[in-house]
Amino acid sequence: MDLEELTQHLSSKKSKFLIFSLGLFVFGIALLGSSESFTHSKVSNNLSNYTVTSGKSFNSILNEFSLNPIQIALLKIFLKRNSLSIAQAGHYDLTNKSWRDFLLSISNGDVVIFKLNIPAGKNLYEIKKIISNSRLNNDCDDFECLDDRFKFLEGTLKPDTYFYKDLSSAANILKKSQDEFFKLASTLWSNKNTVLPLKNLSEAIILASIVEKEAGNDSEKPIIAGVFLHRISIGMRLQADPTIIYGLLPDFNGNITKANLKDKNNPYNTYQISGLPPSPISTISKSSLEAVILGMRNDYLYFVAKGDGTHKFSKTYNEHLEAVKKYQLK
């Protein structure tokens, strides 16, 4: 092979190499373009959420979706290009999510934040159901994680909305709720009305729970609290229907009977017992605590529901009977 032939041969090989390299480059660009294009497609039309368990890899996540090998390869290119290697455990929203947004959210740990609402006026039976219907890890099923410093657990959770990530500890939220309630109640008690006919904060909490269940609105709470404080100060029974109902839980059928009113075996029957029941009967709002702890007795001894969320208050039993005829015996 002479010099000219060698030159032509080398030139031909170089051209083929350049063409091959150019082909690879074009293919690579096309592949990257396809990868980028596919990542903007919607993840799923059927799923609204997805849970990544601890230790799950991106590869195992992709294999759980209905993807073909080419689609998986395109998504792996996206993961590689964006240095996404660790999937954060948690619950993720898939609503209208593209693969790009979904994979980035898993890498960043942008999980769904859930809400647990503990309303005022709810008892532990009801709160237990609220927790069981949540996304919490219920590691305090019977409220055994709570502090029983008052010898009761009922009524010691602060009504509020608590935010959490999927499968967070229920115990942590409940302890936080109880701590906040203790701080609120203790602060109010330190500024209590000095003439209250109550021995301690425990009694104030119990009475505040009764006010919570009796009052239809915040504006009447101080008046209702004043009625009960008046009754306690003169040794009169509280005669509060919500206490009877609580003593019948969890089997209360919705109606208080004459037998229920006469039942001396119900320790929460304030028609039969003197003074306060053994424990609170529900969660308690700040306004109910304030109505009791910062309040004082008034001249009223009776009240009856008017049917519009408010009450008619009376000073004498005869006035009360007239109010009952007007509002209850229509």
pLDDT digit string, tens, across residues 242-277:
999 999 999 999 999 999 999 999 999 999 999 999
Q: Does 160 lie in the same domain as 123?
A: yes
Q: Does 134 lie in the same domain as 70?
A: no
Digit-coded pLDDT (tens) for 95-121? 999 999 999 999 999 999 999 999 999
Q: Does 303 lie in the same domain as 224?
A: yes
Q: Does 74 lie in the same domain as 58?
A: yes
Q: Does 297 lie in the same domain as 214?
A: yes
Q: Does 228 lie in the same domain as 315?
A: yes
Q: Does 246 lie in the same domain as 219?
A: yes
Q: Does 139 lie in the same domain as 161?
A: yes
Neighbours of 325 (CB within 10 A): 11
Residue 19 lies in a domain: no
End residue of a domain, out of 59, 74, 108? 108
pLDDT score recorded for residue 329: 81
Q: Which secondary-structure segment (H or E) carries 115?
A: strand 113-118
Phi, psi (deg, nearest 5) at residue 163? -105, 140
Residue 11 lies in a domain: no
| CB 114 within 8 Å of CB 135 | yes
Residue 24 lies in a domain: no
Q: Does 299 lie in the same domain as 218?
A: yes
Residue 149 lies in a domain: yes
Assess whether pLDDT exceeds 70 at residue 204.
yes
Overall average pLDDT of the 215-243 stretch: 97
Residue 10 lies in a domain: no
Q: Does 200 lie in the same domain as 317?
A: yes
Neighbours of 178 (CB within 10 A): 19
Q: Which secondary-structure segment (H or E) carries 91?
A: strand 90-93
Q: Does 199 lie in the same domain as 298?
A: yes
Residue 101, domain extent: 29-108
| CB 75 within 8 Å of CB 39 | yes
End residue of a domain, out of 75, 108, 141? 108
Assess whether pLDDT exceeds 80 at residue 281.
yes
How many structural domains is the chain composed of?
A: 3
Give percent of the chain with pLDDT exceeding 70. 89
| CB 157 within 8 Å of CB 176 | no
Q: Does 216 lie in the same domain as 166?
A: no
End residue of a domain, out of 160, 186, 212? 186
